[in-house]
Amino acid sequence: GFATVFDSTVSFGVEGSGVDLDAEDLLGLDSSLVVFRLDALYRLGASRRHQLDFSYVGFRRSAGRTLSETITIGDETVVAGTAIESYLNSDFFRASYTYSFLQNERFNLGAGLGVYIAPVGYGIDVTTPGETRTVDERDVTLPLPVFSIRGEVRLCRRFSLRGSVDGFYLELDGYSGSLFEAQVGVEYQFTKNLGMGVAYDFFNVDVNAAGEASDFPGIDFDGAVNVRTSGLLLYGKLSF
């Protein structure tokens, strides 16, 4: 399980034609969740220096509340005191390749490349006397390449310390984006094939794009998305 805390903003319409929202404070979306996360690792070859990593985690958040301040969405102004319902859903798929350039019985340190695919969607419904209507609803998929570092230190026969960092920053005409994820944890091995661990994970993605004017491939939206999470990960480990 992954217990995480959120800090999220979303904006569509970078020249003031859209909405810029704090998802937790203004819309009332959950600021913390407990979700399941899937991670898989495969080491290739007899030397075990080549490593493939895969992970997935998804967040589904929705809320209904009365607006505490007036906001403008496109050409429509929604005044304070209006009842709204909103959602912000995000999925994060990661795949990476790492080569271990330092490897012995106690230490393993490697670097590599990877990619995150992050579908993000949000929507806002406004309720007025006799009517409920959708005032904004968007979906975007963010493709983000990253550089990766992976490390492991065996503390004793059954305990090990693990850490990883993924990072990316790029600016082009009509586009700027950054991603950073860091994780550090301790694992305990019950048997050769069965173990468990606890880790702290921090994740931040921040993308600004100008729609068709963006030079970055795969980005077709006008606005900004920022999602930041941090929390504890408690997991079981099965080795083959």
Radius of gyration over alpha carbons of the chain, in Å?
A: 21
The pLDDT of residue 220 = 60
**Residues 178-196: tens digit of each pLDDT:** 999 999 999 999 998 899 9
The pLDDT of residue 216 = 58
First to last CA, the chain: 21
Mean pLDDT lowest among 6-15, 43-52, 126-135, 192-201: 6-15
The pLDDT of residue 206 = 87
Q: Which residues are paired to 156 by β-bridges?
A: none
Mean predicted confidence (pLDDT) in 192-208: 90
Mapped onto helix, strand or coil, the DSSP state of residue 55 is strand
Give the C-alpha distances (Å, rounded to integers) separating 180 from 5, 135, 195.
Answer: 16, 32, 27
Mapped onto helix, strand or coil, the DSSP state of residue 152 is strand
Burial grade of 27 (CB within 10 A; 0-12, 13-18, 19 or more): buried
**Residues 15-58: tens digit of each pLDDT:** 444 456 677 777 778 878 788 889 998 988 888 899 999 999 99
Contact 71/44 with Cβ under 8 angstroms?
Answer: no
Residues in Cβ contact with 18 at an 8 Å cutoff, skipping those fewer than 6 apart: 11, 12, 73, 74, 136, 222, 223
